[in-house]
Amino acid sequence: MTTKTRQITKQIFAKAETVGRPLKFMELCGTHSRSIARHGIKQILPSNITLVTGPGCPVCVTDQEDIDIIVGLAANKIPVAVYGDTVNVPGTVSSLEKERRRGADVNIVYDTTQALVLAKVKPGLVFFGLGFETTAPMTAWAIKNGLIAYSAHKLFPPAMAALLAHKAIKIDGFINPGHVSAIIGTKVYEQFKVPQVIAGFSGLDVLKAIDMLLSQIIARNPKVENEYGRVVKPEGNGAARDLIAEVFRITDARWRGLGVIAASGLKIKKKYREQDAEFVHHDLIGKIKSKIKIKPSACRCGEILQGLIEPRACPLFGKACTPDTPYGACMVSVEGACHIEMTAKLLFDIMPKSNFKRPLKSTGI
Amino acid sequence: MCLAIPGKIIKFNQGQTAIADFNGIRKEINISLVQAKIGDYVVVHAGFAIEKTDEKSAREAYEFMEKQ
Amino acid sequence: MKDIKTIELDQGGGGEKSSQLISLIRKNLKVKSRWKNTDDDAAVFDLAYFPEAKKREKLLFTTDGFIVDPVFFPGGDIGKIAMCGTINDLCVMGARPLGISLSLIVEEGFPENDLLKIIRSINQVSRETGVPIVTGDTKVTEKGKLDRIEITTAGVGLAEKIIANNGARIGDAIIVSGNLGEHAVALLSQRFNYQTRIKSDCQPLIQEIGSVLPYLSAAKDPTRGGLSAILNEMADKARVKFVLAEKNLPFCRETAALSELLGIDKFAFPSEGRFIATVSKKNAAKVLNRLRKFNPSAKIIGRVEKGRGVFLETNLSVLKRIEVPRGKLIPRIC
C-alpha cells in the first residue's frame, strides 16, 4: 500500500469514527462501480460506510421498450449498430445476440465514426444511441453527418433528483460521475443539497472523494467539490452541450427501475427527422410496441438500480441469473451492479492500521 | 463503456480528426468538441476528445493502467 | 488490372492440378531430415537413429488448428503461427520436436502468391529450428465456404523428462519468458485501426526452453485464454495458490493502453512465443538470467503459496482474485 493511500485510509477511518453513525454513499457512474470493485475499495473502508451502486450504468437503465424496439428492428432485417454490452440484454422475447444468430445484421461498434463508415456500406443502418451526456454528443455529431439513430439517451441530473426524492433510501453523499461532469460542468449539481464529490477513476481518487465527503458531513456543509479537476472544468464542455441542444429535444423518459422521470430523455428534433429511426420506421416501431407484453418477473433490477437492495437480495442472483446466462440488464453489462458483484470476487488480505473500534465487516464473498 | 483515456495530439488530419498517441498506441480521433493544438493532451471517450488534460495527469493515468 | 493467380477449385480435387499444387508447395518446403516416405500416406522415422536415446524416452504427439484473422499480421502470418504453435506445444512439455504434419484447406480464389508466402514462412521456421514438415494434405473448397485459409498442424517429439502442467510447488517462483499479449495487440490493432510498433510475439521457443529445461517444475504457453486461463489451469492442477505482484505485471505500456482502449482484459490476451514456468526459489535467479539473454523483459511475476486460486496483490494491498476469462473472448486470434 502506498503511503498516500495509507494516509487517506487512516483519515477516512478517523473521520468515520467522528461521524459515528452508518453512512451510505452512492457512486453514480458505472465506471466508478467498476473501479471500486477493481481496487477492492469496499474491503478497506470502515464498517459504518456503505457504498451503494446507483443508476449509472447506461445499458442497465435503458428501458425494456427501447431494447425491444432495437431488437425488433434487427429482426425485421434492418442493419443495426450498437455499443458492445447491448447485444446481450434480454428484451421481452429476444435479444440482439439471439437475432444475430438467426441472421440479423447486428454490428458492434466502438464509436459513432465507425457506425458512419458502416452505414456507407449498409444503407439504412440504425445506430442505437444510449448513454448519458457523455455519449449523446457523439450521436448528435453522427446524426448531423447523416447517420440514422434511435435515441434512448438520458440526462443525468434528473435521475439524481428522483433518487433524492425517493423516500425509501437515504443517501448521505454522492460520488458524482467523472465524464458526464466533463460535459455538463459542476454548477448543475448545486441544486442538490447533499454532499457531492466529482471523482476520478483510480483507487486513490475514489478514496480521496470519500474523505472529502466525510469532511463535508463533519462540517455540516454539503457542497459540490471536484476531485477530478485535471479533467472536469467547472464550465464543462460548451461545444458538446451545444451539439446536444442542436440535435436533441428534452422529453420525459422511462428508466429501467426508476420509472418515468420528467425531462430526463433526449429525442431527435424534427429538423433531423430523416435521421430519426422513430420517424423513418414509424409504422414498424408502432407494431413492435403493440406486441410488447411486460411479463411479471422475479428479476429485481429495478430496485438494485435505485440502490434499494443489494444484488444478493434478488432471488435470481447467482442462480438463474449469471454473467453467462443473464436474466436482467444489471447482469449483462460490465458496469451493472450484479455483474460487478459476481465477477469481482475479492479476498481481503491486508488491513490498514486503524484504531477504529468497531469490527470490520465480513468480506461477504 | 471503457474509461476515457488521455492521448497526446500528434497530428491533425482532414476535417475534424486528429491522430492521438495513447502511451504508444495511435488512433484517429474526432477533435470537433475540443480546441486543442499539437502536443496537448485530451481525454477521449467513444472516439471523441471530450476535454483537455495535462501531461502530468496523463502520465499518472498511464502508470495506473500499467499496474492493473 | 494485373491478373492475379488464384487457387482454383480443381487444385484440391486430387487430380493433375492437385499434384501440381502439391509439387509447388513441396518445392518451397526444403529441410533435410531423417524422415523417410514423406510422400507416402504417413512419414516414417526409424528410432534406431537415436543412438543416444535413453530407453525411457517418451513419444509426444500434439495437434492444433489455425484460423487467424487477418492472415498476414505485423510479425508473422498464419503459417508462422501454425509452426510455432505446434513446436511450442511440444517444447513446453520438455520434448524436442521431430517432425510436423501440415494440412491446408484453401478457399477457391485465394491468391497463389499469398499461399507461397505462407509456405515460405513455414519453411523459415523449419530452417531455423531444424524441425521439418514431413507430411501433409491440401484441399480446396468453393468460394464462400471457408474464409481464405485454414491450417492444421500435428507434431511428434521425444522427451526424457516431461514437464507437466501440474508441477508447481509451494515456494516456487512464477516466471514469464517476456512481456505477454503482444500477439493479441498486433492483431487487435489491425482489426480496430490502431497504429503501434508492437509486432506479434510469435516465435519458436526451442532454444529458450532448452536453456532452462532442467529447472522447470511446470510450464505452459499462454495462448488462447491468455495469462489468466493458463495460471488458473496450472494452479488448479497443482492444487496450489498463485499470488502475483501488481508491480511486476508482464505487460508493456502499449499492451496496457490497448487493453484499456478496447475494454478487453489484457490478462486474456494470447501470446504465441512466450512461456510461463514455475521454478524453485533457489534456481529462480539462474533461470531468469538465462531467459533474459533471449528477452530482457523476462521477469518473476509472483510466487506459489499454500491454498487455492490465483490472486493479484493490488496497490491497495488487497488480494484480488484473477478468474478464468469467461464469455466471448477475442475471436480468431490464432
Task: State chain C's mean pLDDT as an integer.
Answer: 89
Residues 13-42 of B with CB under 8 A from A: 30, 32-34
Contacts of B64 in chain A (CB under 8 A): 202
Position C191, amino acid: R
Residue C52 burial (CB count, 10 A): 6
Cell of A90: 434480454
Q: How distant is the alpha carbon of residue B67 from its chain centre?
A: 20
Among C192, C311, C316, the residue with its CB nearest the CB of A203 is: C316
Strands in A196-198's sheet, in edge-to-edge order, are A49-53, A23-27, A173-176, A196-198, A224-226
Q: What is the mean pLDDT of the segment spanning C250-265?
A: 91
Provide the pLDDT confidence category of residue C196 given band limits of 50, 70 and 90: very high
Question: Is C143:C110 a contact under the CB 8 Å cutoff?
Answer: no
| Domain residue ranges of chain B, discontinuous segments joined by + | 5-66
Give the separation between CA C95 and CA C162, rounded to whole angstroms.
7
Beta strand pairing call for C173-176 and C299-305: antiparallel
Decide if B62 and C256 are in contact by the 8 Å CB cutoff.
Answer: yes
Residue C261 has pLDDT above 90, yes or no: no
Q: How far is CA A182 from the centre of its chain?
A: 15
- Fold designation for B5-66: SH3 type barrels. (2.30.30)
Q: How many residue pairs bridge chain B and chain C with CB atoms within 8 Å of each other?
A: 59
Q: Which of C192, C311, C326 sits opposite A323 (nearest CB)?
A: C326
* A137·B48 Cβ contact <8 A: yes
- The pLDDT assigned to C9 comes to 76
> Measured between CA atoms, how close is A358 to chain B, in angstroms?
31
Inter-chain residue contact B23 with C194, CB threshold 8 Å: no
pLDDT above 70: residue C41: no
Residue A6, min C-alpha distance to chain C (Å):
8
The candidate with the shortest Cα–Cα distance to A183, out of A228, A111, A238, is A238
Is B27 in contact with C263 (Cβ distance < 8 A)? no
- C260 touching B (Cβ < 8 Å): yes
| Tens digit of each residue's pLDDT (9 = 90 or more) over C214-225 | 999 999 999 878
SS3 A52: strand
Closest CB from B47, B50, B51 relative to A113: B47
Nearest CB neighbour to A349, from listed C317, C326, C327: C317
Q: Does B22 reach chain C within 8 Å, measured CB to CB?
A: yes
Q: ipTM of the assembly?
A: 0.91
DSSP state string for A71-128: HHHHHTT--EEEEGGGGG---SS--HHHHHHTT--EEEESSHHHHHHHHHHSTT-EEE
Nearest CB to B24 within list C193, C257, C259 = C257
Asked if pLDDT for residue C310 goes beyond 60, the answer is: yes
DSSP label of C171: T
pLDDT at A202: 85
Which distant-in-sequence residues (6+ apart) come within 8 Å of C305 by Cβ? Answer: C170, C240, C241, C242, C243
Helix, strand counts (H, E) of chain B: 1, 5
Report d(CA C70, CA C74) in Å as an integer. 10
What domains, with CATH codes, occur in chain A? Answer: 64-155+236-291 (3.40.50.11740)
Residue among B1, B26, B62 minimizing CB distance to C195: B26
Residue C317 pLDDT class (50, 70, 90 cuts) = low
CB A5 within 8 A of CB C316: yes
Three-state DSSP at C12 gives helix
Residue C325 scores a pLDDT above 90: no
Interface contact B62-C261, CB threshold 8 A:
no
CB neighbourhood size of C59 (10 A): 12
C321–A349 C-beta distance less than 8 A: no
Nearest to B25 among C189, C247, C315 (CB): C189
Average pLDDT, integer, range C252-259:
94
CATH number for the domain running over C9-38+54-159: 3.30.1330.10
pLDDT at C316: 65
Over 50: is that where the pLDDT of C109 sits? Answer: yes
A203/C323 touch (CB, cutoff 8 Å), yes or no: no
What CATH number is given for C173-321 in this structure? 3.90.650.10
C265 in B contact zone (CB under 8 Å): no
**Strand partners for C97:** C157
Chains in touch with B (3+ beta-carbon pairs under 8 Å) read A, C
**Chain B hits for A113, Cβ within 8 Å:** 30, 47
Q: Which residues contact C14 (CB under 8 A, 6 or more apart)?
A: none
Residue C231 has pLDDT above 60, yes or no: yes
Asked whether the beta carbons of residue C311 and residue A347 sit closer than 8 angstroms, the reply is yes
Name every residue whose Cβ is closer than 8 Å to that of residue A117 and which is 6 or more positions away in sequence.
none
pTM of the model: 0.83
pLDDT in tens, B31-49: 999 999 999 999 998 899 9
- CA-CA-CA-CA torsion for A242, A246, A249, A254, nearest 10 degrees? -60
Q: Do B66 and C262 touch (CB under 8 A)?
A: no
C99 contacts: CB under 8 Å, gap ≥ 6: C33, C35, C43, C45, C131, C132, C133, C134, C135, C155, C156
Cβ contact, residue pair B53, A230, below 8 Å: yes
Chain C, nearest residue to A87 by Cα: C328
Q: Identify which of A161, A176, A160 has the alpha carbon closest to the alpha carbon of residue A225.
A: A176
CA-nearest of A113, A109, A106 to A146 is: A113
- Please compute, for residue C189, the number of CA atoms within 13 A of its CA located in the half-sphere on the CB side: 28
Per-residue pLDDT tens, chain A, 365 aa: give them: 567 888 899 999 999 999 999 999 999 988 888 888 877 788 789 999 999 888 888 888 999 899 999 999 999 999 999 988 888 888 888 999 999 989 999 999 888 999 999 999 999 999 999 999 999 999 999 999 999 999 999 999 999 999 888 877 789 999 999 999 999 999 999 999 999 999 998 888 999 999 999 999 999 999 999 999 989 999 999 999 999 999 999 999 999 888 899 999 999 999 999 999 999 999 999 999 998 877 767 788 888 888 888 888 898 888 888 877 888 888 888 788 888 888 764 443 433 333 333 333 333 22
**Confidence tier at C13 by pLDDT (50, 70, 90):** low
- B65–C189 C-beta distance less than 8 A: no
Query: What is the least distance, in Å, from the CA of A345 to any CA of chain C?
Result: 6
Q: How far apart are the first and last CA of chain C?
A: 33
What average pLDDT score do residues B11-36 get? 94
- Collapsed DSSP state (helix, strand, coil) of residue A195: coil
Q: Which residue of B has its CA nearest to C196?
A: B25
Strand boundaries in chain C, DSSP class E: 58-66, 72-73, 76-77, 96-107, 133-141, 149-159, 173-176, 216-220, 241-245, 276-279, 299-305, 309-313, 319-321
| Contact (CB<8Å) A31/B53 | no
Q: What is the pLDDT of residue C332?
A: 61
Say if the Cβ atoms of A231 and B4 lie within 8 Å.
yes
Q: Is C248 on the interface with B (CB under 8 A)?
A: no
CB burial of residue A235 (10 Å; 0-12, 13-18, 19+): exposed
Q: What is the pLDDT of residue C2?
A: 54
Size of interface A-B (CB pairs under 8 A): 73
Angstroms from C86 CA to nearest CA on chain A: 31
Distance CA C252, CA C119 (A): 31
Domain definitions of chain C by residue range: 9-38+54-159, 173-321
Q: Residue C274 carries which DSSP code? A: -
The rounded percent of chain C whose pLDDT value lies above 70 is: 90
